[in-house]
Amino acid sequence: MGDYAMEKNKKFTLKLRELSSMLPPCCAEFFRGVEQTTGVMTRYGYAVDLKLFFTYLMSTDLCAGIDNMRSIDYAILDSVTTDTIECFLEYVSLYPESDDNDDLRTNGERAKARMLSAIRALYKYLYKKGRISTNAPSLIDTPKLHEKAIIRLEPDEIKRLLITVESGEGLSARQRQYHKSTVVRDTAIITLFLGTGMRISELVGIDTDDLNFMSNEVRIVRKGGNEEQLVFGPEVRSALLEYLIIREGITAADGHEHALFLSLQKKRISVRSVELLVKKYSAIAAPLKKISPHKLRSTYGTMLYRETGDIYLVADVLGHKDVNTTRKHYAAMSEDRRRLAAEVIRLRDEDDSPPPPPCGDG
């Protein structure tokens, strides 16, 4: 596991411990029980949603006379009914941000489905351990999820995006000043997204020694913490090599020496910075679409499927593990087919491609 992944795990482990200290003791037991089968970010996500659930529970008659969330015990959990859960899901559709202001927060069907999943996971664990004798959340139907339209770039928009990144055309005068210092880095980042379909967390976590130009592979840490070698094609290789020439001449800030992509402050570039970077250029190249790093990932997946017609190859390369029963079909994907994925995607026509970087001893 790379430096970034380890630091990220450490950060969320501390945040989880802090949040656990505010929740009922049964939650800490639950987090320990599922530690071997979940990532720390998943458990932290559970904790955030469970805190909202218990905050709501404190306002009901079930917790009458209780002034501290830590005092919620198994008996109270056993008293929760399907009506309680349904009222909670209705409540989180629109609720106050805090007691100190009048701002309201909203949650759509996907957020409510996620919250219900967290409550179900807690109850399932406690019921299995014999801590409670009822399991009301298991009787609640998951909120209906409506499919979202997939937003992606078309081939001509991809070309315009890459030209915009390289030329800086359309940027403000202030943006152009920074562009001079970041053009090669930004081109490498955009090209890496479009040429591999990796997640933003995977990209910012890349270290310089994760790159292998002998085999055209980059080591990334997938969701859940698993390491994987991702194969990239010639256009990505060219963009990365050009950036590495510059990167080797930068002395990174303490603690960020191994990071591949650096900010202007010479620290590992953040997720937020990459999001803003993509937004800045895509707003010029495709102004009618809200393009994010995830939309670039969707663009890659669409291009790959159009070229191969193989949905299993697409899922394997993107690292999809949402549907475990389907994932079994992806597991046997050969290295040759992974390399096919790297070769079939062309971000630009041959005539549009930039020349390869000069060879050097370093």
pLDDT for 346: 78
Q: pLDDT digit string (tens) for 93-143?
A: 998 877 666 788 899 998 999 999 999 999 999 999 999 999 999 999 988
Question: CB burial class (10 A; 0-12, 13-18, 19+) of residue 228?
Answer: middle
Residues 183, 187: Cα–Cα separation, whole Å: 6
Q: Does domain 3-139 have CATH number 1.10.150.130?
A: yes
Q: pLDDT digit string (tens) for 204-231?
A: 999 999 999 999 999 998 877 788 899 9
Structure tokens at 88: 């909670």
Nearest to 225 by CA among 35, 50, 46, 19: 35
Residue 17, Cα to own-chain centre: how many angstroms? Answer: 22
The per-residue pLDDT of the chain, averaged, comes to: 87
Q: pLDDT digit string (tens) for 20-74?
A: 999 999 999 999 999 999 989 999 999 999 999 999 999 999 999 899 999 999 9
Q: pLDDT digit string (tens) for 347-357?
A: 887 666 666 66
Contact 198, 297 (CB under 8 A): yes
Question: CB burial class (10 A; 0-12, 13-18, 19+) of residue 119?
Answer: buried
Nearest to 258 by CA among 214, 222, 211, 224: 211
The answer, yes or no, to whether residue 339 has pLDDT greater than 70, is no
Question: CB burial class (10 A; 0-12, 13-18, 19+) of residue 43?
Answer: buried
The answer, yes or no, to whether residue 266 has pLDDT greater than 50, is yes
Q: What angle do CA 228, 290, 205 make, to 5 degrees?
A: 25
Class for the domain spanning 155-352: mainly alpha
Q: Please report which residue ranges of the chain form alpha helices under DSSP H.
A: 3-20, 25-33, 40-58, 74-79, 82-91, 109-128, 155-167, 173-196, 200-204, 234-247, 271-285, 293-308, 311-318, 324-330, 335-344
Report helix angle 293-308 to 173-196, nearest 10.
40
> What is the reported pTM?
0.73
The identity of residue 348, as a single letter, is: R
Count of other CB atoms within 10 angstroms of residue 285: 22
Confidence of residue 325 (pLDDT cuts 50, 70, 90): very low
- Give the DSSP letter of residue 357: P
Question: CB burial class (10 A; 0-12, 13-18, 19+) of residue 39?
Answer: middle
Top pLDDT among 360 and 59 is at 59
pLDDT for 314: 75
Report percent pLDDT > 90 for the chain. 67
Structure tokens at 268: 């590992």
Residues 96, 210: Cα–Cα separation, whole Å: 45
Structure tokens at 343: 């070769």
Domain ranges of the chain: 3-139, 155-352
DSSP class per residue in 152-206:
---HHHHHHHHHHHHH-TT--HHHHHHHHHHHHHHHHHHHHHHHH---HHHHHT-
Residues 339, 288: Cα–Cα separation, whole Å: 34
Read off the pLDDT of each residue in 251-275 and give the average, rounded to a whole number: 95
Fold match flag (3-139 vs 155-352): no
In the numeric block, the tokens 């670039």 are attached to 296
Q: pLDDT digit string (tens) for 145-173?
A: 776 677 889 999 999 999 999 999 999 99
